[in-house]
């Protein structure tokens, strides 16, 4: 589903340059649940942003579902992003003046889906994340965990090939974090390919494979022996 080869990325500020990714190689097969681990500043978000086509590498190649991602104009990039990818963020990134239902329906609106069908589909995704009863509530009436569930429903609404989550539990307490990871595990069980960035060991162990980043390189890439489940955390 994803293949990256010898990926490099530097940030330049004035005369200073910071080499953040120094030759990253890895691939992800369809249906995997992978975490990218590493301490703060190790380049996790930079890597995820490149995978999410929100940023471009300086060197190296990236193939997503067989499509080489390189030098795309913004219009094509946006089309691929909408078709291939769903995003989940630490800070949820919900639209505050729209209900939970309308937040989930946003990607469908942009696909041109009519209101009735959109509402039905968005409701089905809210049900899937356990929030059918909260459909008409506004984000500020929801807990952090509920907001992240809405964000997950929104990410799923366009049925992307891959879900990319940058510290999806970073703003949540421990118990809620495990519950959100339990939901993510369930979505993966249904076949969705999911990549999660986290700096938390506990969270990484609720995925099936841990890719460890350090100083711009992958220092370890290992299958998780015993994937943790909510029932035994």
Which residues form the interface with ligand ADP (CB under 6 A)? 11, 13, 18, 20, 38, 40-46
Between CA 44 and CA 167 the distance in angstroms is 10
Q: Which does 42 bind (CB under 5 to 8 A by kind): ligand ADP, Mg ion, none?
A: ligand ADP
Buried b (16+ CB within 10 A) or exposed e, 102-136: bbbbbbbeeeebeeeebbebbbebbebbebeebbe
Interior CA angle at 139 toward 162 and 120, to 5°? 60
Q: How far is the CB of 107 from Mg ion (least distance, A)?
A: 23
> Is the separation of the CB atoms in 98 and 92 below 8 Å?
no
Q: How far is the CB of 203 from ligand ADP (least distance, A)?
A: 14
Q: What x/- string results for residues 26 through 45 when contact with Mg ion is judged by CB under 5 A?
A: -------------------x
Between CA 35 and CA 225 the distance in angstroms is 14
Interface with Mg ion, residue 169, by CB under 5 A: no
Q: Which does 81 bind (CB under 5 to 8 A by kind): ligand ADP, Mg ion, none?
A: none
Q: How far is the CB of 7 from ligand ADP (least distance, A)?
A: 13
Between CA 160 and CA 122 the distance in angstroms is 15
Query: Which DSSP string corresponds to 175-194?
Result: HHHHHHHHHHHHHHHTT-EE
Q: How far is the CB of 71 from ligand ADP (least distance, A)?
A: 20
Nearer residue to Mg ion within complex by CB, 153 or 172:
172
Q: How far is the CB of 42 from Mg ion (least distance, A)?
A: 8
Query: Which residues in this chain contact Mg ion in the complex, by CB under 5 A?
Result: 45
């Amino acid at each position: 589903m994803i293949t990256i080869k010898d990926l490099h990325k530097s940030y330049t500020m004035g005369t200073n340059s910071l080499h953040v990714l120094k030759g990253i190689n890895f691939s992800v097969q369809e249906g995997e649940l992978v975490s990218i681990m590493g301490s703060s500043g190790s380049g996790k978000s930079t890597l995820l942003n490149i995978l999410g086509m929100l940023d471009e590498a300086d060197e190296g190649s990236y193939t997503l579902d067989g499509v080489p991602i390189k030098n795309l104009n913004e219009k094509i990039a946006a089309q691929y992003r909408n078709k291939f990818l769903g995003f989940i963020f630490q800070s949820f990134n919900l639209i505050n003046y729209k209900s939970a239902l309308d937040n989930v329906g946003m990607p469908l609106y942009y696909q041109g889906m009519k209101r009735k069908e959109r509402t039905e589909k968005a409701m089905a995704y809210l049900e899937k994340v356990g929030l059918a009863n909260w459909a008409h509530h506004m984000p500020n009436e929801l807990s952090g965990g509920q907001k992240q569930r809405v964000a997950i429903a929104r990410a799923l609404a366009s049925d992307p090939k891959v879900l990319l989550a940058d510290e999806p539990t970073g703003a949540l307490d421990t118990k809620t974090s495990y519950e959100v990871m339990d939901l993510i595990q369930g979505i993966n069980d249904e076949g969705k390919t999911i990549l999660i960035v986290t700096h938390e060991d506990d969270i990484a162990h609720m995925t099936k494979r841990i890719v460890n980043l350090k100083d711009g390189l992958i220092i370890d890439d290992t299958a998780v022996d015993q994937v943790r489940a909510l029932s035994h955390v």
